[in-house]
Amino acid sequence: VTGESLIERFRTARSDPGLVVLEGFHAVKHAVRFGADILEAVAEDPEEIGTLARRLAPDVAEDRPGAVTRVPAGTLAAICPSPPSTGVVALARRPRVASYDVLADAGAAPVVFLEDPRHPGNAGAAIRVAAAAEAAGVLTSGELDPWGPAAIRGAAGLQFAVPVARVRELPPADRRLVALDPEGEPLERGTIPPRAVLAFGAERAGLSADLVARADARLRIPMREGVSSLNLATAVAAVLYALRLD
C-alpha cells in the first residue's frame, strides 16, 4: 500500500456513508471498547499510542496490541483538516442503525431527537452525554451527518456506545413527545414520562412550529432572568441527568 493510496483512502472515507473516520485517541478508544469493526489505524508514533493506551485504556491495549500502523511524518496532516494532538487516526465500518429499532426499544430510557442541528461539535457533545446517561438512542434530522468526522470527534467516538441514526423527519412512535423549548412550561420533577422522545431544536432557530404542534408537552429548563437559552448539548445534558436523578 503506497502512502498516496492510504491518504486517498482516508480522504474519501470522510464522505463515505459506509465508513467512520476516528480522529484522536479517545475516539479510537471508545470505538474499540464499544465493539467497532476497525479497518485500519495509523499513527506517526505508534509506540506513543501504545503507551497512552496502556496508561488510559488498558482494556483496549490488551484487546488490540500492536494494531496501529506507522506512517511517515506529515501523513496525519494530509488526511485530517485538523490533525488530533494524540496523533492517531482510524477507519471503522459504519454500523447500520434503524430509527425504527431505536424507537421500538422497550426500556424506560428516553430517545433524544435533535431537530436539524447545525454544529457537528454540538451534535457530538449531545451524543456523548446521551451515551453516558444511557439514553435509548439519538435521532437527528437535517443535513448534518451525526457519524461524520467532526461529530465523531465531538462525541469522542461514543456513537458506537448508543444507537445513532439520521432521519428525514421524526417517525411516529409509541412514545410521548416532549419538546424542550425556552418558551415552555417549567420542567419539574416527574413531568417527563418514561420512554419519552425528548426533542431539541437547532442552535439558532430552535424547534420548528410543526414539532412543537406535534408535541405532548413543551418544557423549559429554568434559567436566571436575562439568560435566553442554553447551548444545545448543555440542554440535552441537563434534561437527561435531571431525568436520571428523578
Q: Which residues bind ligand SAM (CB under 6 A)?
A: 180-182, 200-201, 203, 206-207, 220-221, 223, 229-232, 235
Nearest to 42 by CA among 22, 61, 16: 22
Residue 59 vs 210, nearer CB to ligand SAM: 210
To the nearest whole angstrom, how small is the minimum distance from the Cβ of residue 187 to ligand SAM?
A: 7
Sheet holding 177-186, edge to edge: 164-166, 137-140, 111-114, 197-200, 177-186, 217-220
Residue 50 vs 182, nearer CB to ligand SAM: 182
Grid cell of 34 as nine digits: 464499544
Residue 23 vs 181, nearer CB to ligand SAM: 181
To the nearest whole angstrom, how small is the minimum distance from the Cβ of residue 231 to ligand SAM?
A: 6
To the nearest whole angstrom, how small is the minimum distance from the Cβ of residue 128 to ligand SAM?
A: 16
Residue 13 vs 130, nearer CB to ligand SAM: 130
Distance CA 167, CA 175 (A): 17
To the nearest whole angstrom, how small is the minimum distance from the Cβ of residue 41 to ligand SAM?
A: 35
Helix residue ranges, H only, 177-231: 209-214
Distance CA 81, CA 104 (A): 38
For residues 217, 204, 165, 21, the Cα torsion angle rounded to the nearest 10 degrees is -150
- The one-letter amino acid code at 98 reads A
Nearest to 229 by CA among 201, 199, 210, 190: 201
Residue 124 vs 157, nearer CB to ligand SAM: 124
To the nearest whole angstrom, how small is the minimum distance from the Cβ of residue 26 to ligand SAM?
A: 25
